[in-house]
């Protein structure tokens, strides 16, 4: 019959790193403290330049369509919001808000770890 076996965390699945806290550092930077103890900081201007959405990045070739020089240094977020349990989205002052940044990507491109 049912062979349920409540074991350690879902057998071999490791808990993925999630956001423990998120805060603005200064006019340009914000910090995420992850549940696994890692701390990362992000430059919001760079995040806009690396926007992974389908209009900024070619969905098939993964080439960045958005030219970094077209994003002015003056760009800032309006707000940063969680997307499910795996990503966050940023609404920028230029009105762009379609980029979804998975935590796995953020942990790769952060300024400091």
The structure tokens 């926007």 sit at: 51
Among residues 70, 73, 85, 112, which is the contact residue for another protein, using CB under 8 A? Answer: 85
Please say which residue, 37 or 67, places its beta carbon nearer to another protein. Answer: 37
Distances (CA, A) of 113 to 70, 71, 92, 93: 28, 25, 24, 27
CA–CA separation, 95 and 111 (whole Å)? 24
Site string for another protein, 1-40 (x = CB under 8 A): xxxxxxxxxxxxx-xx-xxxxxxxxxxx-x----x-----
Go through the chain and tell me how many residues it has.
Answer: 113
Site string for another protein, 34-73 (x = CB under 8 A): -x--------x-----------------------------
């Amino acid at each position: 019959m049912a062979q349920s076996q409540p074991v350690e965390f879902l057998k071999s699945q490791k808990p993925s790193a999630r956001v423990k806290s998120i805060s603005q550092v200064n006019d340009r930077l914000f910090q995420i403290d992850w549940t696994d103890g890692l701390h990362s900081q992000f430059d919001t201007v760079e995040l806009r330049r690396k926007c992974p959405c389908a209009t900024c990045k070619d969905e098939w070739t993964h080439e960045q369509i958005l030219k970094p020089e077209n994003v002015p240094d003056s760009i800032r977020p309006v707000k940063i919001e969680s997307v499910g349990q795996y990503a966050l989205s940023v609404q920028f002052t230029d009105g762009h808000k379609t980029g979804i940044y998975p935590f796995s990507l953020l942990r790769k491109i952060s300024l400091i770890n």
